[in-house]
Each structure stands twice: as C-alpha cells, then as structure tokens.
Amino acid sequence: MKILVLLLVLLTVSECEKNVTGRTGQSITLPCKYDIKINGPTEVCWGRGPLPSSGCTNQLLATDGHKVIKESRASSRYQLQGRLDEGDVSLTIMNVTEEDTGLYGCKVEIVGWFNDEKHPVHLTVNRAPRLISTPSSGTTSSSSDIHQTTAATPTSGDFMVPTGSDVTDGNNTDLVITPVQQENSLHFFIGNTLRFSFIIFIPLLVSALFYRVWRSNLRFPTNTRPDQPEDEDDDSV
C-alpha cells in the first residue's frame, strides 16, 4: 500500500503542468530536462495533447538519446536547440501563431516500470500588436493609409501604434510611442541647462571683475598728497 501511494506521488510530481506565454511571431521554448548523469542518454519524444502511457500523442519529434530522429520531425518549426548531451531536450517552436496554443507533452523514457518522466507544458500564444507606419511631417493621411500595416522595424520618424482586438476606440493616446517627442525633449533639456549655466556664470564673472577693480582702488588711493620737498622745510627754518 505504501509503495502504491509513493508511486502515485511520484507520478503526480512528474506530471506537474507548466505554463508558457508568448506572442505571435516569436520563437518560444517549452522546458524539458532530465538527469543524464544518472539515466544516461535517453529516448525522448514531444507530442501535442495529453501524454499517454506509451509514446506521445500527435508526436512532433523524438530523439534516440543523442540526436533528433529525422523521420520523427513533424515540421521544421520544431527544434531542440538545447544541449542534448546535458539532458536539455526543451522544445523550441519557431514563428508561433495563435493556433499553436494548447497542451504539449515531453516524455523521457526511463528504463523500468513506471519510470518514464512526463513534463506537460501549456502554451498560450497572444496576438502581437501591429505596427502602423505614419509620416512624421504632420500631414493628414487617408483612411486607407491609416489601416496599412507593416512588420518592419520602425524608424525614428515612425509611430508604434498597437492595433487589433486589444485596442478600443477610446482614449488610446497613451499607447503611442513618439521618438520625435523624446528627441525634442532632449534638446529642450540641453537648452535649458545651457541657459541656466549662463545665468549663473555671467553674474559671477561680472562680480569678480568689479571686486578686482575695487581692490585695485584700495591699493592705489587717488586722494593722497605727495610729500613736500626738502627745500620748503629748510625755508621755514
């Protein structure tokens, strides 16, 4: 009885489901590792859906313990980019779409009864915000231009505006990122700093000049009488 309970606990721990979230267009990695030092190179399979007692449901790919079996790969989008020689058999899905959302399973086939390690992972793929390219000159665009989308990286004159189901018709001005405004803010900050420096520096310079002139007048007084000649002293005698 105790052995049965222990087996149930081990199965429950190994089947603890993990959650991974990403956006469309990304390459997302679903984690799966095993202790290769203890078990040695082991066969692994990845499938979509609940893991059965044998093999993988809707198999995506499988390994022989050292490399991916070429015939087992369902699509080139499924890659094992980790170190297989270190037990890292995490699955990377390239360029994911919303259709990739769902339950995935990694099964490590350990030799012996009830020894297989099961690693279920639930993937959620959200729609990425679209980029709308708009001119920075402030000209009014037509309605057809406003709805034209592009996947290219925006330049300094572009605005990144999220669109789609996540954006409502309300106040969405906070969602707009304007690099031009950020650049203008930097110029404004530099200009204010220079003006503030001149306001402080020029009065200090003028005060220093006035102080030096004042000290010079004290050192060489202009109202002192010259000494009388010795001849005048003799005549007075």
Written as one string, the DSSP assignment of 121-155 is EEEEEEPPPPEE---TT-PPPPHHHHT-EE-SPP-
The domain at 15-126 falls in which architecture? Sandwich (2.60)
| Residue 53, pLDDT score | 85
Q: Count the helix, strand and coil residues of the chain and give each as a percent rounded to the nearest 5.
A: 35, 20, 45
Q: What is the pLDDT of residues 26-64, one digit of tens each?
A: 999 999 999 999 999 999 999 999 999 888 989 999 999
Q: What is the share, in percent, of the chain residues with pLDDT greater than 70?
A: 59
Q: What is the pLDDT of residues 164-198, one digit of tens each?
A: 434 334 444 343 344 444 445 555 567 667 776 76
Beta bridge partners of 123: 20, 102
- Residue 108, pLDDT > 90, answer yes
Which residues neighbour 212 within 8 Å (Cβ) at sequence distance 6 or greater? none
Would you kindly state where each structural domain of the chain is located, as residue ranges? Answer: 15-126, 129-177, 178-217
